[in-house]
Structure 1
Amino acid sequence: MNKLFTCAAILMLGAGNVLAQPTINQLSASAVTMPMIFPAPQSIELGKGTILLGKSVTLVAAPGTDAETLAQVREILTGAGVNNILTAQRLPSNPEGNYIVIGTGKASLISQALKQSGTVIDTHAEGYTIATIARANGGIITLAGHDADGLFHAVQTLSQLAQRAVIPALVIQDHPAMPIRGTIEGFYGAPWTMENRTKHLNFLAGVKANTYVYSPKDDPYARDRWREDYPKTTLAELGKLVATARRNHINFVYAISPGPTVCFSDPAELKLIERKFDALRSIGVHNFYVALDDIEYTKWNCELDKKTFGAPGAEAAGVAQARFLNAVQASLNAHDPDARPLIMVPTEYYDAKESPYKAALRKNLDPKIVVQWTGTDVVPPAIATTDAQAATKAFGRKTLLWDNYPVNDYAQTIGRLLLAPYTRREAGLAEGLSGILSNPMNQEAASRPAVTGVAAFAWNDKAYDANRTWHFSARELAGGDERTTAALLTFFDTQHIAPTFGNQPWQEQAPHLKATLDDVREAIAGGDAASRQKAINNLIQCADGLATASDIILSGTVDPAFAQEARPWLDALQLWGRALQLTAAGLNAADQQSAAAARYFANAKKLAAEAAAVQSIKGATRFDGPIKIADGVLDSFIADAPKLIAF
């Protein structure tokens, strides 16, 4: 990405998607090019030739292949224009036409198909291999999963390959770097709706995530009223969500937050948790989490804890929590031996410094239990491999990173959507973490650009490219439309800032727009008339792009949920864009020594004030407030512009 990002986006906006569909003759003569797959595969090697799917494909499924995974393959093929999907039990000795062979590595059919490509299956958990062979009269595409999860991930990659006009001959060997990847719905404020969650689980599947933790702080039955049973209707809704997660090969984890009121030493409390977990087990939940964050350890909730563990304090809290959690883990072992280990988030979750609490937890906590940790701070500006090593030492095990990005439930995020790419996490973290869970925003669809980055980094941290992944997320939200993608990237740039709990953000605001506006300031200051006029012309283009981006985003190709969640920001963006258009007109008039400059600048000031007054959707986030669009960049430039050229 260069500093002319915003102007480049505007050129895309004007051009639209004008790529003509190639003819078959053109395809056969075209070069074989490397596809861009997200998350980046561990390895991908091109072969010779390409495969045009055409109208007919024969599907050869190995015994035991998951029916829903097969159904998704059919859906992908139909979307790619295949209208005749035949089936067969084996590959013929001299296949004609296009064949897709699908199954897990245990099937002889898969081994035979991969052998034709001179490769073998990736043997890592959740790993997969895709091998495509181009022939004069068709081709063979083999989708081989090490396990059912790996095969499902292979199908997600096929979905991206099938969006191209042709599929190149290639071999992809792929598997995740981190075993746990996904999100924790752990924010304060309005929880997601069941519809939001369903869409989110479908989205997570596409980016090869494998974990969703249900932990909304404002679910009373998970926190304030954790001892009470869920109403039957709510339990039934959760059951539907669990079924959606299962179809998407997502591990649905239920989190309970008893910390504010629990009596750690009372056996009756464990029985209540067991009862809650039994009810959730009845709807298909087999993985659980106990959250002990955002509570005090300077007091006990019951006299029995004081008698059992002594005076309240950090060390005593660590011992009490460890014993309680060990009992929960033992209960899980007894009820469901195949369940994954219990996950917990400690009261000291925000650094890796040695402390009496961490020492007590490290000494007493069952080593099987997974510990979450938010990094070097509640909202860390960066996370290095040395930080992960320090956390491993402090907690006595590899930690599961709870990354508080792009969550926007704290005061510094008022009026913001956090849409910057996921960055400043060091490659190599896979060696020091058991995984990463993103804590998203109250706005589910708007969280996807950042979460896409988290999932891609957790899948392959060493090959992760933040900007390319960011662009991919915009294309996905835009439904593949290039004009809308460009408009989204223009909008994303105005929401680029990533705050912390302090005064210093960890990502700067509107870097691409700022570069354009800085060019204008520098050209005007330089005193050269030709350079000044060129910069003003670029400013006019960029202002037009800002002013029209909202209408393009709302035109219909973007996910409707994103358009609804972002509506106040899009309204404000349009007003700010019009204010910048008037500012550009004012600078142009001032450069021509026209008295009209004063009128342009005055009207720009009025529009800017109107834009700054747009409010967020009441109740949508924990804190309401005025919408912020490229604040500190756009508003400053509009305010300063009348003083840049005397008229």
Structure 2
Amino acid sequence: MTRRARRIGLPLLAATLMTPVAHAATRPAIFPAPTEMTLAPGTVMLGRAVTLVAASGTDPATVALVESILRDAGVATITRRTSAKGDQPHVILGTTAAAIVRTALSGIAADDHVEGYTLTVDPAGAGTITLAGHDADGLFHAAQTLRQLVQRTELPAVTIRDHPAMPVRGTIEGFYGKPWKMAERTRHLDFLATVKANTYIYSPKDDPYARDRWREAYPAGTLAQLGTLAAAARRNHVDFVYAISPGPSVCFSAPADLQAMQRKFDALRGIGVHRFYVALDDIEYKKWNCDADRAAFGPSGAEAAGKAQAQLLNAVQADLTRRDPQAPPLIMVPTEYYDAKETPYKAALRENLDPRVVVQWTGTDVVPPAISVPDARAATKAFGRKTLLWDNYPVNDFAQTTGRLLMAPYARRQAGLATELTGILSNPMNQEAPSRVAVTGVAAFAWNDKDYDPERTWTFAARELAGGDDRATAALLTFFDTQHMAPTFGSQPWQEQAPRLRALLNHVRDTLATGDAPARGAALADLARAADDLAAAPDTIRAGVADASFAEQSRPWLDATALWGRALQQTAAGLAAADAASPAAARYFADARRLAGEAAAVQSIPGATRFDGPIRIADGVLDRFVADAPELVVMQLPHSK
């Protein structure tokens, strides 16, 4: 039975199909937020049978995806036809180049942007749903919007015209520490498709054949795995970009090193990879790796490094174009990849680098607390082109993130950045599935930065992980709140820790300090419910999350959350007992201290991240409240006679 059938119940579904009922059309929640959405009167019920009309030349994989979406929505019979006939709902799909698609749009002007699409739901007759892509990518994105629409029992009459604000949207697997497994990468590519992302850069720092031993050919087995991964990316309409990191040992002026890079790219081209990247980050750039570079570029230094890097990159770009005039441009990340201050290195790169080469930039800092349009405009000036933002969130490979999953909403990036950036790529965590929370926000912002809502997108990410289950969604949001902090390399995080829990605990503190007996009782009851929710959240997540890898990769954090939830339960019981002058308060508080100690001792999975250490759960908020609780209410002792 499909999820949709379970949700509304088969008897109710049958009754609805037999008895037409007038319902008000409500605006659907679609993520990323569409560029334009217009409601009209009426609704369409898919029912149990649908006619599917795919225009000639439509990608078979997209047709199969639409069929899968319809079956998950409760459609039992899908009849394939070449024209719109019959008395059951129709789904028509194809690009706007197809006459049948243009006819189905009934005069509606189709979105004409790259990757754009137009989706209409017309209640006339039995109902027609039209998916019209400006191109094959746009049609694929339309199918992802349909996937969200059919989660409702009835589809509102709606016209959606939509396209991305930024050309490049996705992730760069660019962290230090344990790389993702191939299966995790495949799942990540499947996920990227659902949020309309279009780019994945393979750049794990700990792949020896991409960095330390970059001149060496990949073993045949590894190369085959990368080919399988590239095929999965194509299936998901995601550009698979291969990044090489030669900086620690490259001789910029050596023809042999250029040839070694070309051989590496040739091998990857043979398995279906057609876009490439040269990473020159995190290297010593004021010291040559070979005497030939000193002879070619003079004494080492920032300016000379900029010239040397530009020469190599220009040669690589020229070779890519020579092999395929339609090849997408080379991407690079410079050694000075953050801030937009004028320097000799940036000036040399700007003046010498082929204008076709795409430059990545991490913002005003390595991990910037905010990025504004003026910041990006300054980067455009510094590098001589609009940059591709490498956003170091939610990556957790630096010391300040020890013991943390970073799952706050993607925020503090200014609407309007699409005017100064070519796109945004998130650098995710070592934990792939938990990374999806923030990456969903990155993709949604890059698609439509002007209408992006961090909190609503955060909730959508939870619902997607929960497979639409309400209890699991609520539990995930409770858990996310305990991992809300977003550190930087400085002392101040750019997202506060546990804002929802903090607000509740501050309310309890204030009410105990100033409230009367009924107010204190109500506040303590709220605390007890929150403690129950926190304690129960891990088991609810494990049972309800749609992808088991989320629970697996979050295991120690879920374990610690359960213990902290029990500690808060005992704390709530202790406060209630103390408020009632019960001597049981001391026992409750002692149990809370013991459980808090056990929770604080839970360790991260050895080797899973660059820095191992104790797990942190709402640190600075929850631990402080549990520690302070015995002093918040002092029992009135009976007077001795």
Letter in 2 for 1:51: V
The correspondence for 1:127, drawn from 105, 116, 119, is: 116
The correspondence for 2:454, drawn from 455, 458, 466, is: 466
Aligned counterparts, 1:497-536, within 5 A: 497-536=485-524
Structure 1 residue ranges without an equivalent (≥5): 1-16
User: Could you tell me how far apart the structure 2 residues matched to 1:397 and 1:508 are?
Assistant: 34
Aligned counterparts, 1:192-211, within 5 A: 192-211=180-199
What percentage of aligned pairs have identical amino acids? 67
User: Could you tell me how far apart the structure 2 residues matched to 1:626 and 1:126 are?
Assistant: 44
The correspondence for 1:258, drawn from 208, 227, 246, is: 246
The correspondence for 2:380, drawn from 388, 392, 397, is: 392
The correspondence for 1:69, drawn from 42, 45, 62, is: 62
User: Could you tell me how far apart the structure 2 residues matched to 1:635 and 1:30 are?
Assistant: 49
Letter in 2 for 1:146: H
Question: Is structure 2 residue 71 aligned with structure 1 residue 87?
Answer: no
Letter in 1 for 2:35: Q
Question: Is structure 2 residue 30 aligned with structure 1 residue 37?
Answer: yes
The correspondence for 1:620, drawn from 608, 614, 620, is: 608
What secondary structure is seen at the aligned counterpart in 1 of 2:26? Answer: coil
Aligned counterparts, 1:161-310, within 5 A: 161-310=149-298
- Give the corresponding residue for 2:93: 102
- Give the corresponding residue for 1:114: 105
Q: What is the deviation of 1:306?
A: 0.5
Preserved contact between residue 126 and residue 150 of structure 1 (Cα < 8 Å): yes
Q: What is the deviation of 1:18?
A: 8.5
User: Could you tell me how far apart the structure 1 residues matched to 2:20 and 2:606 are?
Assistant: 53
User: Could you tell me how far apart the structure 1 residues matched to 2:186 and 2:420 are?
Assistant: 31
Q: What is the deviation of 1:111?
A: 1.1
Letter in 2 for 1:217: K
- Give the corresponding residue for 2:638: none
User: Could you tell me how far apart the structure 2 residues matched to 1:509 and 1:420 are?
Assistant: 9
The correspondence for 1:381, drawn from 333, 351, 369, is: 369
Question: Is structure 2 residue 321 aligned with structure 1 residue 330?
Answer: no
Deviation per CA, 1:114-145, whole angstroms, max 9, x where unpaired? Answer: 12xx412110000000011102x411111000
- Give the corresponding residue for 2:407: 419
Deviation per CA, 1:45-68, whole angstroms, max 9, x where unpaired? Answer: 011211110111111111110000
Letter in 2 for 1:119: I
User: Could you tell me how far apart the structure 1 residues matched to 2:21 and 2:492 are?
Assistant: 54
Q: What is the deviation of 1:19?
A: 7.2
In structure 2, do the counterparts of structure 1 residues 395 and 26 end up closer, same or farther at CA, with 3 Å as the change threshold? farther
What secondary structure is seen at the aligned counterpart in 2 of 1:239? Answer: helix
Q: What is the deviation of 1:26?
A: 7.7
- Give the corresponding residue for 1:485: 473
Cα RMSD over matched residues? 1.2
Letter in 1 for 2:74: G
User: Could you tell me how far apart the structure 1 residues matched to 2:518 and 2:559 are?
Assistant: 35
Structure 1 stretches of 4+ with a deviation exceeding 6 A read 17-20
- Give the corresponding residue for 1:456: 444
Q: What is the deviation of 1:231?
A: 0.2
Preserved contact between residue 366 and residue 489 of structure 2 (Cα < 8 Å): yes
In structure 2, do the counterparts of structure 1 residues 321 and 513 end up closer, same or farther at CA, with 3 Å as the change threshold? same
User: Could you tell me how far apart the structure 2 residues matched to 1:558 and 1:579 are?
Assistant: 28
The correspondence for 1:315, drawn from 290, 293, 303, is: 303
Deviation per CA, 1:556-596, whole angstroms, max 9, x where unpaired? Answer: 44310000000100000000000000000110010011111
Letter in 2 for 1:31: A
Preserved contact between residue 28 and residue 50 of structure 1 (Cα < 8 Å): no
Preserved contact between residue 111 and residue 120 of structure 1 (Cα < 8 Å): no
Between stretches 615-624 and 19-28, larger displacement belongs to 19-28
Name the count of aligned residue pairs.
626
Preserved contact between residue 286 and residue 336 of structure 1 (Cα < 8 Å): no
Q: What is the deviation of 1:446?
A: 0.4
Q: What is the deviation of 1:311?
A: 0.7
Letter in 1 for 2:603: Q
In structure 2, do the counterparts of structure 1 residues 138 and 367 end up closer, same or farther at CA, with 3 Å as the change threshold? same
What secondary structure is seen at the aligned counterpart in 2 of 1:323? Answer: helix
User: Could you tell me how far apart the structure 2 residues matched to 1:527 and 1:549 are?
Assistant: 30
User: Could you tell me how far apart the structure 2 residues matched to 1:529 and 1:169 are?
Assistant: 53
Preserved contact between residue 23 and residue 42 of structure 2 (Cα < 8 Å): no
What secondary structure is seen at the aligned counterpart in 2 of 1:327? Answer: helix
User: Could you tell me how far apart the structure 1 residues matched to 2:78 and 2:149 are?
Assistant: 18
In structure 2, do the counterparts of structure 1 residues 26 and 564 end up closer, same or farther at CA, with 3 Å as the change threshold? farther
Preserved contact between residue 8 and residue 153 of structure 2 (Cα < 8 Å): no
The correspondence for 2:45, drawn from 52, 65, 74, is: 52
Q: What is the deviation of 1:555?
A: 1.3
**Normalised TM-score (structure 2):** 0.96
User: Could you tell me how far apart the structure 1 residues matched to 2:198 and 2:342 are?
Assistant: 31
